[in-house]
Chain A
Amino acid sequence: GENVEQHPSTLSVQEGDSAVIKCTYSDSASNYFPWYKQELGKRPQLIIDIRSNVGEKKDQRIAVTLNKTAKHFSLHITETQPEDSAVYFCAATVENDYKLSFGAGTTVTVRA
């Protein structure tokens, strides 16, 4: 099955700086990569996703890049704000599949 590894496990950044989270996956058939944000005590929520037919996707201050050859993808948050503090999970799955394989999560803390 799919194995997703995520780094770093914790990340502390100064407000206004950028944050980068990296994930690798093992199954070369995976072609859908969502990112979820989970605030303390709340449900995971999808913030951005990317399909394998593109290498980058951007939505305001967040962007995701995908390198299918190397089997890794990254989340980039620019101009971080205190409300970006949360646990971020990457995930991978195969089109026509349904179960998401999640990374272990990255706890991001934005220092004011």
Chain B
Amino acid sequence: GAGVSQTPSNKVTEKGKYVELRCDPISGHTALYWYRQSLGQGPEFLIYFQGTGAADDSGLPNDRFFAVRPEGSVSTLKIQRTERGDSAVYLCASSLGGGAFNEQFFGPGTRLTVL
């Protein structure tokens, strides 16, 4: 079946602009996660959804970052007033349920470059 997909694959924007990154999880997966991966680092947790609600957004770096999942499937990560330090690969993952023992399946990521 289809895996997790993310669009766009690459996004180049100018400092101060607004961007939206989209994630389509595996069908039937109730849990969805966003991670950020900077060059040479492992993924860092941003936010976790169980269904439509953000169960934990403790990893969001500041209030410029926001994510939604209105129908419990597709999620959008929104970044306002982008800064050069936001440049990274943004990874989305989904799992059948929440909890550690449910394998997280990752998408290919969106590479965000802020000029």
Contacts and interface: CB of A to CB of B under 8 A. Distances in A.
Interface of A: 4, 6, 31-32, 34, 36, 42-46, 49, 51, 89, 91, 93-105
Contacts of A32: 100-101
B108 A43 contact: yes
Interface of B: 3-4, 31, 33, 35, 40-45, 48, 55-56, 59, 91, 95, 98-101, 103-109
A99 B56 contact: yes
B24 to A, nearest CB: 13
B42 A102 contact: yes
Given A32-B100, A93-B100, A98-B99, A44 B33 contact: no
B103 A46 contact: yes
Given A99-B56, A102-B44, A105-B41, A44 B106 contact: yes
Contact of B45 (A34, A44, A99): A99
B53 to A, nearest CB: 13
Contacts of A4: 42
B106 A43 contact: yes
Given A51-B101, A97-B99, A102-B44, 19 more contacts: A32-B100, A32-B101, A43-B108, A43-B109, A89-B42, A93-B100, A95-B100, A95-B101, A98-B33, A98-B98, A98-B99, A99-B45, A100-B45, A100-B104, A101-B45, A102-B43, A104-B40, A104-B41, A104-B42
A112 to B, nearest CB: 25
A31 B101 CA distance: 10
A34 B104 CA distance: 10
Contact of B100 (A6, A44, A94, A103): A94
A105 B59 CA distance: 20
Contacts of A46: 103-105
By CB atoms of chain A within 10 A, which of B44, B100, B107 has the most?
B100
By CB atoms of chain B within 10 A, which of A89, A99, A102, A103 has the most?
A99
Contacts of A98: 31, 33, 48, 55-56, 95, 98-100
